[in-house]
């Protein structure tokens, strides 16, 4: 790690060629997710899950990223991306890459996943493959469970083209003949209600033939003629339209953000179209008809060889009871001192607690809040809520506390994309039981993960805090890797208190003791730490940065890393998703290595480690190194100062990920990724498996190496 003194090269750090396009980097991540679906070492039903995740990710990409570029292009915006592209150029690049990705998704489904499922006795049967008994059951099901809720819309001057819901299943049908009113038939639209299950299990299979399922789209397609009695159906083709997912509300003008958003939510389902998905066999003239109706171009049309919404196939994961085709179950560990029978307040008075999710349970965080809600010595509870999930025990505990007369303050981010409706409901519930609910700061999303408990002890008030890298969502806490930090340190309690004062009241920015905060001190502090490593390297001293995050897109941070690399700082970046930095460029970033790790769990924690002359510094954060996180959100970044906890977290969640492991993808300077260790014998291990082994005692193998040391 000893640095070689160096001088910065002659680079223009604003040169667009020094940056990878953010949107293409996101699509590259979705390519890596799709590759998981093709990996025979991944259990089969989990491979199906990865396929559906890649599809869902792409949906959101079009709703958010592609939609924003499309809107910019329509309004003539001149702002360029980091890599120097106009909105039109970005859209063209997106279309080129996404078309290949969509093609490969359906190829994976039809050529790999479905045949593999069939070999396991799980048959997704196309309508051309139904046997007579299956046809009989399907016809009966259609007539009794589907037909009554379908409403075909024949298009004529009295029946204009209907409003099509975002991402809903629809059919465009060509009909010939003359109807009861003497009208000549033509084109009809059939919209499928979302309440109907998209995957159906066909009962009565012969013993030993396995499970037989079919898609609702196949059922409707086979019997669509019954919607047009006496007419001739000449063509039937499924389609789906994706719309802009943004909600626009002028926060400076509205008096009540909750009411304004509640009014806007229904219209999002009918916002401007950004993508049309259409069956491959649909005639070109019909495709052009639909493109015109949705004001889309040929580049925004995606032909699909299968169901237009692959996400719907995730229903199979619950329908198929085959544990052998899924990841083996594990029991999250509950550390000593934070179990249901422990006094967590006494535990925290003795020292800080760090929980590494999902290997360690999120239950202690929920239990901490639940006990606080019932504890007569607890006077106040303050918490931020970004995403919580339906029927959240977190919200239930806050409501219990409010009913008990405690001062409950909830900072609810109503603008959490695609969770707006749920968060509006949570805000209403909490207000009804007497909690104080605020929506953060106008113009800044509140993305910080904080909870503060104020308790009276021996006549004095003491603060207990939880700070995290992930949301207060018990579901994702079992699927995402995140960090929970529980403490009663007075200086951290004072910091959390000050941040809550900023979120709920008015006042000037106050200096904090330990916590770094966006949009005030976080970016500057990160840049200062990177520059300190650069200065050390320039002086010939050891220097290193290791950082883990979901995305790296902020230009000034990237520029600081480039400069540090040129000075000789060794930099390892573990970035799950988008990365706009180009590693390994001669003279610029030769000392920077970027890797993305995929696996059973979604890597979600954000950690920033600096060598600091041997007195290493470690921060955990709710923020990625992105412009939005550093400049337009309220975020927290907190130091792990307890040496034992810091060393443990550094090993588990940073250096554990730097080995030559399976499912490690190494980024190249052109923005592409190369997967490490594919097909190697003996098989490489996975950092997540090592953590399951260490923290849960699950998946233990005698030949499995322990966690690697600091290299």
CA dihedral of residues 262, 264, 270, 271 (deg, nearest 10): -140
Let me know if residue 580 belongs to a domain.
yes
Mean pLDDT for the chain overall: 90
Let me know if residue 81 belongs to a domain.
no
* Average pLDDT of the segment spanning 561-571: 97
Tokens of 482: 């995140």
What residues have CB less than 8 Å from 288, skipping those under 6 apart?
none
Q: How many helices (H) and strands (E) does the chain have?
A: 20, 27
Cα(372)–Cα(377) distance, integer angstroms: 8
CATH label of the domain that carries residue 634: 3.30.870.10
Given the residues 237, 356, 447, 466, the one annotated as active site: 447
Q: Among this protein's residues, is 447 annotated catalytic?
A: yes
Strand partners, 238: 171
Cα(532)–Cα(287) distance, integer angstroms: 58
Cα(367)–Cα(393) distance, integer angstroms: 9
Let me know if residue 110 belongs to a domain.
no
Is residue 39 within a helix (H) or strand (E), and if so which, with residue range? none
501 and 552, same domain (yes or no): no
Q: Evaluate the CA torsion angle 6, 11, 16, 17 in order and state its sign.
A: negative
Q: Spell out a b/e string for 420-429, using b for 16 or more CB atoms within 10 Å of the CB, else e.
A: beebbebbeb
377 and 497, same domain (yes or no): yes
471 and 574, same domain (yes or no): no
C-beta of residue 365 within 8 angstroms of C-beta of residue 466: yes
Let me know if residue 2 belongs to a domain.
no
500 and 524, same domain (yes or no): no
573 and 535, same domain (yes or no): yes
CATH label of the domain that carries residue 155: 3.30.1840.10
Domain end residue (candidates: 512, 532, 547):
512
Q: What pLDDT does residue 271 have?
A: 84
Q: What pLDDT does residue 1 have?
A: 59
8 pLDDT above the threshold of 90:
no
Domain end residue (candidates: 494, 512, 530):
512
Let me know if residue 112 belongs to a domain.
no
Tokens of 562: 């480039």
Q: Is 100 helix (H, G, I), strand (E, B) or coil?
A: helix
Q: What pLDDT does residue 701 have?
A: 40
β pairing state of 633-639 and 617-621: antiparallel
Of 88-97, 231-240, 291-300, 691-700, where does mean pLDDT reach its minimum? 691-700
Let me know if residue 337 belongs to a domain.
no
How many domains does the chain divide into?
3
C-beta of residue 25 within 8 angstroms of C-beta of residue 578: yes
Q: How many CB atoms lie within 10 A of CB 590?
A: 14
Q: What pLDDT does residue 265 have?
A: 55
What residues have CB less than 8 Å from 52, skipping those under 6 apart?
310, 311, 313, 314
Let me know if residue 285 belongs to a domain.
yes
Counted residue by residue, the chain has a size of 711
311 and 435, same domain (yes or no): no
494 and 605, same domain (yes or no): no
Show the domain range for 526.
517-696
507 and 654, same domain (yes or no): no
Q: Residue 569: which pLDDT band, with cuts at 50, 70 and 90?
A: very high
Tens of pLDDT along 599-657?
999 999 999 999 999 999 999 999 999 999 999 999 999 999 999 999 999 999 999 99
Q: Residue 708: which pLDDT band, with cuts at 50, 70 and 90?
A: very low
469 and 529, same domain (yes or no): no
Of 149-158, 253-262, 364-373, 477-486, where does mean pLDDT reach its minimum? 253-262
358 and 318, same domain (yes or no): no
537 and 669, same domain (yes or no): yes
Let me know if residue 309 belongs to a domain.
yes
611 and 670, same domain (yes or no): yes
Is residue 239 within a helix (H) or strand (E), and if so which, with residue range? strand 232-243
Q: What pLDDT does residue 441 have?
A: 85
Q: What pLDDT does residue 706 have?
A: 43
Cα(407)–Cα(473) distance, integer angstroms: 22
C-beta of residue 63 within 8 angstroms of C-beta of residue 55: no
272 by Cβ neighbours in 10 Å (0-12 / 13-18 / 19+) ranks as middle
C-beta of residue 581 within 8 angstroms of C-beta of residue 588: no
Which residue carries 């237009």 as its tokens?
A: 308
Domain end residue (candidates: 489, 512, 535):
512
């Amino acid at each position: 790690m000893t640095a070689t003194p160096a001088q910065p090269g002659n680079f223009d750090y604003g040169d667009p060629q020094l940056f990878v396009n953010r949107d293409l980097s996101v699509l590259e991540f979705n390519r890596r997710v799709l590759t998981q679906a093709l990996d025979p070492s991944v259990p089969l039903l989990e491979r199906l899950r990865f396929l559906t995740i890649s599809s869902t990710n792409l949906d959101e990409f079009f709703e958010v990223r592609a939609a924003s570029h499309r809107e910019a292009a329509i309004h003539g915006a001149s702002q360029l991306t980091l890599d120097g592209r106009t909105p039109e150029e970005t859209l063209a690049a997106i279309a080129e890459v996404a078309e290949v990705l969509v093609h490969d998704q359906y190829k994976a489904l039809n050529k790999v996943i479905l045949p593999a499922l069939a070999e396991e006795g799980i048959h997704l049967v196309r309508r051309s493959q139904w046997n007579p008994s299956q046809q009989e059951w399907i016809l009966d099901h259609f007539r009794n469970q589907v037909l009554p809720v379908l409403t075909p819309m024949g298009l004529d001057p009295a029946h204009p083209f209907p409003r099509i819901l975002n991402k809903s299943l629809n059919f465009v049908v060509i009909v010939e003949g003359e109807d009861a009113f003497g009208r000549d038939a033509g084109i009809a639209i059939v919209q499928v209600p979302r309440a109907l299950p998209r995957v159906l299990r066909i009962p009565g299979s012969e013993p030993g033939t396995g499970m037989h399922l079919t898609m609702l789209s196949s059922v409707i397609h086979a019997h669509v003629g019954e919607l047009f009695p006496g007419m001739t159906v000449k063509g039937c083709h499924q389609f789906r339209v994706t719309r802009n997912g943004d909600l626009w509300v002028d926060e400076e003008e509205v008096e009540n953000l909750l009411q304004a958003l509640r009014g806007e939510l229904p219209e999002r389902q009918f916002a401007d179209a950004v993508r049309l998905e259409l069956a491959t066999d649909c005639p070109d003239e019909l495709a052009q008809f639909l493109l015109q109706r949705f004001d889309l171009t040929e580049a925004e049309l995606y032909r699909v060889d299968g169901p237009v919404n692959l996400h719907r196939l995730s229903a199979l994961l619950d329908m198929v009871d085959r544990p052998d085709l899924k990841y083996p179950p594990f029991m999250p560990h509950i550390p000593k001192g934070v179990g249901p029978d422990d006094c967590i307040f006494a535990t925290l008075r003795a020292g800080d607690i760090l929980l590494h999710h999902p290997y360690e349970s999120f239950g202690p965080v929920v239990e901490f809040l639940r006990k606080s809600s019932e504890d007569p010595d607890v006077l106040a509870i303050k918490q931020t809520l970004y995403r919580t999930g339906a029927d959240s025990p977190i919200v239930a505990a806050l409501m219990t506390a409010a009913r008990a007369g405690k001062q409950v303050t909830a900072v609810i981010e109503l603008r959490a994309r695609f969770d707006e409706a749920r968060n509006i409901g949570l805000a209403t519930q909490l207000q009804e039981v007497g909690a104080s609910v605020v929506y953060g700061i106008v113009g800044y999303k509140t993305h910080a993960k904080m909870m503060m408990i104020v308790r009276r002890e021996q006549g004095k008030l003491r603060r207990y805090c939880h700070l995290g890298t992930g949301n207060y969502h018990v579901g994702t806490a079992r699927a995402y890797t995140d960090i929970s930090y529980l403490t009663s340190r007075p200086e951290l309690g004072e910091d959390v208190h000050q941040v809550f004062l900023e979120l709920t009241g008015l006042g000037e920015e106050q200096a904090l003791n330990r916590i770094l905060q966006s949009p005030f001190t976080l970016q500057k502090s990160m840049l200062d730490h990177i520059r300190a490593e650069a200065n050390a390297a320039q002086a010939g001293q050891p220097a290193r940065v290791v950082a883990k995050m979901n995305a790296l897109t902020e230009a000034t941070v990237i520029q600081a890393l480039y400069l540090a690399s040129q000075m000789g700082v060794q930099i390892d970046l573990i970035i799950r998703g988008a990365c706009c930095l180009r590693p390994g460029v001669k003279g610029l970033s030769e000392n920077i290595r970027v890797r993305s790790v995929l696996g059973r769990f979604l890597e979600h924690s954000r950690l920033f480690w600096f060598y600091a002359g041997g007195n290493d510094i470690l921060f955990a954060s709710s923020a990625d190194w992105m412009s939005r996180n550093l400049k337009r959100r309220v975020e927290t970044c907190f130091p792990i100062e307890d040496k034992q906890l810091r060393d443990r977290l550094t090993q588990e969640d940073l250096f554990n990920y730097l080995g030559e492991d399976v499912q490690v993808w190494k980024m190249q300077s052109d923005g592409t990724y190369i997967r490490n260790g594919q097909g190697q014998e003996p098989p490489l291990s996975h950092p997540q498996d090592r953590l399951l082994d260490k923290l849960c005692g699950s998946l233990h193998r005698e030949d499995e190496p322990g966690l690697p040391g600091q290299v």
